[in-house]
């Protein structure tokens, strides 16, 4: 599996970490780095967690989409492409990614630019454009298109 460091960095930056439950932009109770479930139940208004729990959950919650993406890919991708897709999938869910035009174009070997532009379509919550999601998707798009100097060597 690819190194998830860059994906975790993007997720941490855009999700932020809150140890007290809060409602996200769509009104869903959330905790840590955007987690909506804890201890086999939905997050509730009174929930709290430790920083260690939030950090552990982030790794667990990012590993799930990473594994799913690996199974769905029929082409090789760079670490940056993979990390951009993990960040996206962490936010939109595996089912949405599996059914996405982004994945279809990638597996059909469309141009990197065409695939990358699909990130920009995922900027809504509750049917409304969210500026923070627009910014995040541009960052993920840029990461997808960037060349890792270690891979280029």
Catalytic: which of 15, 81, 118, 140? 15
Assigned token pair, 71: 């199974």
Distance CA 78, CA 148 (A): 8
Residue 5 tokens, joined = 């460091």
Backbone angles phi, psi at 124, to 5 degrees: -120, 150
CA dihedral 5, 90, 75, 145 (to 10 degrees): -60
Residue linked to tokens 């936010």? 91
How far apart (Å, rounded) are the C-alpha atoms in residues 142 and 99? 22
- Output Rg (C-alpha) for the chain, integer angstroms: 16
Q: Indicate if 151 belongs to the active site.
A: no
The residues assigned a catalytic role are 15
């Amino acid at each position: 599996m690819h190194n998830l460091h860059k994906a975790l960095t993007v997720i941490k930056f855009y999700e932020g970490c809150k140890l007290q439950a809060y409602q996200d932009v769509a009104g869903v109770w959330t905790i840590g780095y955007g987690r909506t479930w804890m201890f086999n139940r939905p997050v509730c208004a009174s929930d709290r967690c430790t920083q260690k729990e939030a950090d552990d959950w982030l790794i667990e919650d990012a590993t799930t989409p990473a594994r799913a993406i690996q199974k769905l890919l029929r082409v090789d991708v760079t670490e940056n492409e993979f990390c951009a897709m993990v960040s996206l999938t962490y936010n939109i869910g595996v089912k949405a990614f599996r059914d996405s035009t982004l994945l279809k174009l990638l597996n059909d070997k469309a141009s990197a630019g065409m695939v990358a532009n699909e990130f920009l379509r995922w900027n809504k919550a509750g049917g409304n454009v969210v500026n923070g999601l627009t910014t995040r998707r541009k960052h993920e798009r840029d990461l997808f298109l960037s060349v890792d100097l270690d891979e280029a060597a």
